[in-house]
Structure 1
Amino acid sequence: MEELKAIKGYYRPIQPTVKVDNGDIVYREVRPGKDVENLIYCYWQLTAVKPLEKPFIYRVVSDGCIDIFFNHHQLDENYIMGFCRKYTEFQIGKEFNYVGIRFLPAAFPLLFGLDAKRLSNQSQELKAVLPKFSKWIETNLSTDDSLDNVTFQIDNMLAEIIQNKDFEIDGRFFNSLKLIFQNKGLLDTEKDLMMGLSPRQLRRVFDFYIGTTPKAFSNVVRFQYILNAKPSTQSLKENKLYLDVGFFDQAHFIKNFKTFYGVTPSKAFQ
């Protein structure tokens, strides 16, 4: 599992479109337990403190991860969302309490042996993908559970799967993944990722473990690097961070950023 530990050290997939607490809506992240920390970046909760005046539209930015999430008020409403090439918006109503599991890149296919490509660019009911996991959420969790108790139970369930799992690690793929993270997504995937795999083989393993091509994933890593830098609108103009990650002009950067975030950098960082 050292390969996954390295991923955790290099990559921080964040979702910044909801402030931690804006009064009516609370977004919270909880770190996983030690037994699962190399597979899961975080557990998260998005909840309305009180009924809203109008339905809330939740924007999910591209982060390279696979998420399982469920309605804590109605546990049979559980879903999975794969890698997304662009931002996604959900209208989730006036009252909601969603809890999710954000798996680190490659962790979900490694743990469950499922092809990430079949999950890409969509959300679908979890029972269509992992019926036993879906049923476990319905029968083992309670709508009265606190978030800490929910995450504790999921920790234990996933830790048991890990303990009984014989992981088959493709070192060539994980070395390629590590190189993408080390270079903040700025590299020529056709030339720089020669790890004993042909370009076709590389695309195949990335499709399975990530759900997209090495180039598309690298673009998301580059985008997430910018988010993690937490630039202000002013610093973006003065320091031109986008030049450091391979954009030759501001117009190209803004167009690319809007694809992954849904709004322009000036609006995102205002």
Structure 2
Amino acid sequence: MENQFNIRNLYAPLQPTILQSENALVTYHEVLPAISLQPFIYCYWELKTNVPLSKPFSYRVVADGCIDIFFDLNKVKESYVMGFCNKYVAFDLENTFHYIGIRFLPAMFSALFKINALSLSNRVELLENVVPQVAQFIAGQFSADLSFTKIKSLFDNYFVQAITDMNLSYDKRLYRAIEIIFKKDGVVNIEKDLDVGLSSRQLRRLFEYYIGTTQKTFFQVVRFQRIIRENRSQDIKSGKSFLDQGYYDQAHFIKNFKTFYGLTPKKVL
């Protein structure tokens, strides 16, 4: 199957809260999938403890517009899917863990598996209840002794084979709207910039099905991601870029940022 829509060059979802591992007690890695899978899957990721921690680990996931499959390599019979989130999510993990994940680019999870993304929004669901064939593959093929390299190979082989004969149907007008949002870094006017031949209501339905939220919330997340990716702290502090970034004022920016990250921009940037 060929995906005629590839947003990888337009969007790089970032999870900054797990890139800073204190004393290497906890490490996080991302690897690219096979080239043919890159229009669909942003990365495979690994989050693990290298030694038992003295206390449970608090793990924050910031809003990134993606849908993830994840599981603990020590408990492969329990895999999960996390839908689009319109705010940060904090997980209290145990003092030892070895999580593996698959991060799907926006709209790709629903396009591949024909799942209504809105039904997963702001939720974590058992994967066996959503995409049972993938849950069964994980339970049958993975174990705690596998290296991350081997895990990548298993996923690549499985997904390349799984999607080869799929007939990926998509509405070009939806993907044109998504493309516009990425190219404008989320600073868009819904009525003027997203005039792609669909009414606002029709476009909203497509965004809810494929992304899991409205076009407005989605472009707010894209805008937020741009700020943390480029670390635009000096522009923000100067006070001259709020309007350029689509915020009404400083208070609006701080509230929006804290919703998506869980911390104020002062603490993060």
Q: Which residue of 1 aligns with 2:97?
A: 96
Q: Which residue of 2 aligns with 1:14?
A: 14
Displacement after TM superposition at 1:240 (Å): 4.9
TM-score of the pair, normalised by structure 1: 0.94
**Root-mean-square deviation over aligned CA pairs:** 1.5
Q: Does 1:133 align with 2:129?
A: no
Instruction: Give a deviation string over 1:77-113, Cα, whole Å, max 9, x none.
Output: 2100000000001111100110100000011111111
Q: Which residue of 2 aligns with 1:237?
A: 237
Instruction: Give a deviation string over 1:44-100, Cα, whole Å, max 9, x none.
Output: 111111111111111100000000001011111210000000000111110011010
Alignment size in residue pairs: 267
Displacement after TM superposition at 1:126 (Å): 0.5
Identify the range of structure 1 (134-143 vs 16-25) with the bigger mean alpha-carbon deviation. 16-25
Q: Which residue of 2 aligns with 1:228?
A: 229
Helix, strand or coil at the partner of 1:69: strand
Q: Does 1:262 align with 2:262?
A: yes
Q: Is the 8 Å Cα contact of residues 61 and 88 (structure 2) preserved in structure 1?
A: yes
Residue type of the alignment partner of 2:97:
F
Helix, strand or coil at the partner of 1:79: strand
Q: Is the 8 Å Cα contact of residues 239 and 250 (structure 2) preserved in structure 1?
A: no
Q: Which residue of 2 aligns with 1:162?
A: 163
Instruction: Give a deviation string over 1:26-48, Cα, whole Å, max 9, x none.
Output: 01111111120110111111111
Helix, strand or coil at the partner of 1:4: coil
CA distance in 2, matches of 1:143, 1:241: 48
Identify the range of structure 1 (191-200 vs 36-45) with the bigger mean alpha-carbon deviation. 191-200
TM-score of the pair, normalised by structure 2: 0.95
Displacement after TM superposition at 1:242 (Å): 4.0
Residue type of the alignment partner of 2:51:
K
CA distance in 1, matches of 2:192, 2:143: 50
CA distance in 1, matches of 2:19, 2:158: 30
Q: Which residue of 2 aligns with 1:181?
A: 182
CA distance in 2, matches of 1:107, 1:235: 33
Helix, strand or coil at the partner of 2:55: coil
CA distance in 2, matches of 1:78, 1:240: 46
Residue type of the alignment partner of 2:13:
P
Q: Name stretches of at least 5 consecutive residues in structure 1 with no aligned partner.
A: none
CA distance in 1, matches of 2:48, 2:202: 42
Q: Which residue of 1 aligns with 2:246?
A: 246
Residue type of the alignment partner of 1:258:
K
Q: Does 1:208 align with 2:206?
A: no
Helix, strand or coil at the partner of 1:101: strand
Displacement after TM superposition at 1:3 (Å): 4.1
Instruction: Using the aligned pairs only, state the percent identity.
Output: 46
Displacement after TM superposition at 1:2 (Å): 5.3
CA distance in 1, matches of 2:192, 2:222: 18
CA distance in 2, matches of 1:93, 1:160: 35
Q: Does 1:36 align with 2:37?
A: yes
Q: Name stretches of at least 5 consecutive residues in structure 2 with no aligned partner.
A: none
Q: Which residue of 1 aligns with 2:220?
A: 219
Displacement after TM superposition at 1:268 (Å): 1.5
CA distance in 1, matches of 2:263, 2:217: 19
CA distance in 1, matches of 2:146, 2:178: 37
Instruction: Give a deviation string over 1:192-251, Cα, whole Å, max 9, x none.
Output: 21211111111111111100100010100000010111234x563137554431123222
